[in-house]
Structure 1
Amino acid sequence: MQSQDVAPRPAPASADPVVDIERAEAALVEHYPRLVRLAYLVLPPSLGRNRRVVTAHSLTQRALPRGRAAATPAIPAQSTGRDGDPGYAFLRLQVLRTALEAGLPLRRLAWPKRSQLPPLLPQVWGLRLFPRSGGADELALDQQLSALSGPARAAYVLRGLEKLKDGAVRDVLTAAGVEDVDAALDEAATVAAQYALLDSPEFDPCSLHARPTDLMRRRQHTKAALAAGAALLVCGALLGLPGEGWGPDSAAAPSYAQNPAAEAALDPAQLTKVPALAWQSSARTDFSVWPARGDLTDDSALLRRALAVWARPGETVAVSATPGTPSGGPPGAPQLLYAGTVDNAHVVILYDGLRIVRYAEPKEGTAGAALDFSRVDGATRGEASAVVLSRADGNVRYLVAPWVKKAAERDLLKPRTGAMDLTVTGGITSPLASPAVQQTGTCTSWNVLQLADSTGTRLLTDLAELVPVRLTTGRPGAVKDASGPAALRTWAPYSCWLGQMRSAGVRTVNAWAFARQALPDGTGSADWVCTRGETWRGGGERVLAQFRTPGATQAAVAAKGENVSACGARDPHVLAGVLWKANTGSWYLLAAATRDTESIRATGGVHGSTEGSLLTARAKQGAQVELKGTLESGRSISGLR
């Protein structure tokens, strides 16, 4: 349970803490992913993504104190790390210091420092490792950070990733050996404070893609003939190509051996092309009955390049995949959904029964080619209604299902405003504004795609993935598409929070108004709504319990959970609370649960209980509360946090 107006708890003050090796080891194990992310962000991008990843892990693993003696961090006590842990503070300082050293230029008459040399360990032979590709916002931020000096990048990361105030940032940078801290802080301030993006998978060196290195050079320089032969056999088995090959300008990586099964799967002549009207007589209504559309469905050269890049993306190809989506080659001849020219690019969309795959390349050449994967197994008519064809200039175009009769654009924040019709030509919609690229800050609109067919109307929203997310309303287990006036009114105050589910492999998001609670100062009643995002992979579900007072245009997130069953079809129950400040200045704990809740009890900073599903109790600002509920069946439930 969270309060909207509660400041973070300060770390406990003490004398300069002494960190023994056991405490530092425990902090390293607990916070290893965060420390590696910190090192990766501070290291100079000029190293390249592969070396930055390996170096970040190497610097973090070398951050432990040498020997078994205790270590005293050269930082004041108030700068201690996560939750006041001096072990984490010591490791963070060591990682930061060595990452800054790694960015210093080599001097002709001076021995290089260890951090300036390629790491001895860890080493991965024959593979290039790099984090998952993010969206346009992450790419823009990475480019802006690359233009900063090392100390300025460190200041930005400490502010954004570590949530340190400028005073604490100044102390840490000084302890790390930065000479002009004020200049570093001023330079870091030139980059917009998009701190939430620092938690993106784009900057996570612990969640990696692997690709082969320059195989030709390895072959030419391999001295051991037996090792070279074994490497070629492995590459041939995994990375076989079609017999005719593709031109030297292709974005696919090179190959050295032929594999008959792989050749058959990657032959454009073997692609499945469904007839235009097959969906009308089919018992299925999913991607398997989509016809092949576009003006380049017979362009064998383009289709061959798309299939080749799918099998083995070259080093210059930008590859992205939603969480839980395998990015390997096709298991058999895939189905062609689209091949054509859109927004100055050649686009090919393929389907293999499990994934939608989009290949895009410029009209001229293949430099800047992109390959995107999205898992869609088990898609129903509603989820198989559209695929993102392209994004450009903040707009998105969709390829819609053949059964769609009408497409429109609607602002989810304005339920009383009508929908604006979209032109559909050859299954392609005219462009509409995409909330997936909406910048951080005030949310003033949230545009969604409204589709109508013979079964009804549904809303879909772009969350930076290939397949738009279906929006529904209602009690779990009996949800329906969010299309009617009541459903639109339910969604309006909560739509801006859909941004928290970007790029998470979300399939559907349901908004369920589970309670209405009278405010203790008599100013009206507040609404409680639970929004739950179901994923394609069946895990990683995200749940938000949101609270809206009378007259508020947007709701506040009271509690959240991930990988929980609450608010879903398996467990249609939820309990959440919030600290609320009345107009009189008094603070209250307000808690609500589903109607079949028999009682609620609060402990910790607030003590109170009630019979029923609503609890109101006097509280103090910043109180930390534990909520427990008992259902009519006798089962206990805990409050979301």
Structure 2
Amino acid sequence: MATARASSARSEVCVPAPWIAAAGTRDLLRAGEDTRPPAVAADGVTAPVEVPAATGACAAWPALEVTSSARIVEAHAFVLTDLGALTPVHLTHTPLPDGPGAVPARQPREATGAAARAAWAPTACRLREMGGDAVRAVNIWEFAASDLPDGGGRAVWSCTRASGWAGTGDVLVRLGPAAGPPQDVTRARATAACGRFGRHVLAGTRWRSPAGRWYLLAAGSREVAGITATGAVRARAEGRTLSAPAGPEGAAVSLTARLAGGAAVTALDDRGGGRD
């Protein structure tokens, strides 16, 4: 955090740079912890900000939260982290809609509120897989929610997208049950999926219920009007989610979604699938 120095015969005072109102560090793995101000030396220079460990146990994930000054622009807080490149990476969060029914597409929000902190806590360590000089921002988009079979509770489907400066990015889709850790669904590299130019998403996975039964689960983004499974599982559902008894492990299943406008979308996979 840059500072400006004002001196007089009696004292010397360090003044924060005019474009920064506040800055602090926090651990992304601990959603409930407060932001801690950085240590500032007598000459106004902050101590080095801790960066995430590149290898070994992921016991903490430091991030920097900065608030811009209203004297320059509107007061605006945002979160940055280090992935080993020359510039820090901007972290954001796109939450589920507040109510049912068709809603306008949401823009990513800053990862500063309670919901964003809760979303990032189980995801931050996966940023190690998204490092590199080309990453400029990472967003967690919660694109669907579904009720799990056999009393499994409510689950949120999310797509974490690491966007590169060149436009494409890597994505990781996860299923997050209310109880238990998130389950990886699929990932894709060098894709437009889950971004501005890949806003229609369909994903599916096998999931074991509390009763020990296996199911095929699938979910789509807000414009999905129906989902069809073919192959080892043959099932159809209206709306944005599908649940059906799973076929044998490893047996091929194809998923297709019908959009409200009539177009079709295939499931996202590790080849970057999910094309309209």
Q: What TM-score do you get using the length of structure 1 for normalisation?
A: 0.36
CA contact (8 A) 1:436 1:464 kept: no
User: Counterparts of 1:424 and 1:452 in 2: how far apart (Å)?
Assistant: 17
CA contact (8 A) 1:587 1:621 kept: no
Q: What TM-score do you get using the length of structure 2 for normalisation?
A: 0.79
Alignment partner, residue 473 of structure 1? 93
Runs of 4+ residues over 3 Å off in structure 1: 290-293, 424-429
CA contact (8 A) 2:226 2:240 kept: yes
* Structure 1 residue 548: Cα displacement: 1.2
User: Counterparts of 1:607 and 1:428 in 2: how far apart (Å)?
Assistant: 63
Per-residue CA shift, 1:306-326, capped at 9, x if unaligned? Answer: xxxxxxxxxxxxxxxxxxxxx
Of the two structures, which has the highest relative contact order with CA contacts closer than 8 Å and spacing of 6 or more?
A: 2
Correspondence list, 1:398-437, <5 A: 403-424=19-40, 428-437=45-54
Per-residue CA shift, 1:217-247, capped at 9, x if unaligned? Answer: xxxxxxxxxxxxxxxxxxxxxxxxxxxxxxx
User: Counterparts of 1:583 and 1:606 in 2: how far apart (Å)?
Assistant: 21
Secondary structure of the equivalent of 1:422? coil
Structure 1's 491 and 421: CA in aligned 2 closer, same or farther, altered over 3 A? same
Correspondence list, 1:21-100, <5 A: none
Secondary structure of the equivalent of 1:513? strand
* Structure 1 residue 292: Cα displacement: 12
User: Counterparts of 2:154 and 2:179 in 1: how far apart (Å)?
Assistant: 10
User: Counterparts of 1:538 and 1:526 in 2: how far apart (Å)?
Assistant: 30
Q: Does 1:535 align with 2:175?
A: no
* Structure 1 residue 610: Cα displacement: 0.8
Q: Does 1:460 align with 2:75?
A: no
Which amino acid in 2 is paired with 1:573?
H
Alignment partner, residue 572 of structure 1? 199
Alignment partner, residue 177 of structure 2? 549
Per-residue CA shift, 1:70-105, capped at 9, x if unaligned? Answer: xxxxxxxxxxxxxxxxxxxxxxxxxxxxxxxxxxxx
For structure 1, the residue ranges without an aligned partner over 5 or more in a row are 1-289, 294-399
CA contact (8 A) 1:477 1:569 kept: no
For structure 2, the residue ranges without an aligned partner over 5 or more in a row are 5-15, 70-74, 96-104, 270-276
Q: Does 1:636 align with 2:256?
A: no
Alignment partner, residue 449 of structure 1? 64
User: How many residue pairs get matched?
Assistant: 242
* Structure 1 residue 428: Cα displacement: 4.9
Correspondence list, 1:234-383, <5 A: none
Structure 1's 419 and 586: CA in aligned 2 closer, same or farther, altered over 3 A? same
Which amino acid in 1 is paired with 2:177?
T
Structure 1's 406 and 464: CA in aligned 2 closer, same or farther, altered over 3 A? same
Q: Does 1:591 align with 2:207?
A: no
Alignment partner, residue 255 of structure 2? 627
* Structure 1 residue 511: Cα displacement: 0.9
Secondary structure of the equivalent of 2:191? coil
Structure index of larger Rg? 1
* Structure 1 residue 638: Cα displacement: 1.3
CA contact (8 A) 2:3 2:17 kept: no
Structure 1's 599 and 402: CA in aligned 2 closer, same or farther, altered over 3 A? same
* Structure 1 residue 612: Cα displacement: 0.8
CA contact (8 A) 1:519 1:526 kept: yes
CA contact (8 A) 1:588 1:617 kept: yes
User: Counterparts of 2:256 and 2:151 in 1: how far apart (Å)?
Assistant: 26
Q: Percent same amino acid at aligned positions?
A: 38
Structure 1's 528 and 484: CA in aligned 2 closer, same or farther, altered over 3 A? same
User: Counterparts of 1:401 and 1:495 in 2: how far apart (Å)?
Assistant: 30
CA contact (8 A) 2:185 2:204 kept: yes
Whose strand proportion is higher, 1 or 2? 2
Alignment partner, residue 614 of structure 1? 241
CA contact (8 A) 1:407 1:424 kept: no
* Structure 1 residue 421: Cα displacement: 1.4
Whose helix proportion is higher, 1 or 2? 1
Which amino acid in 2 is paired with 1:433?
E
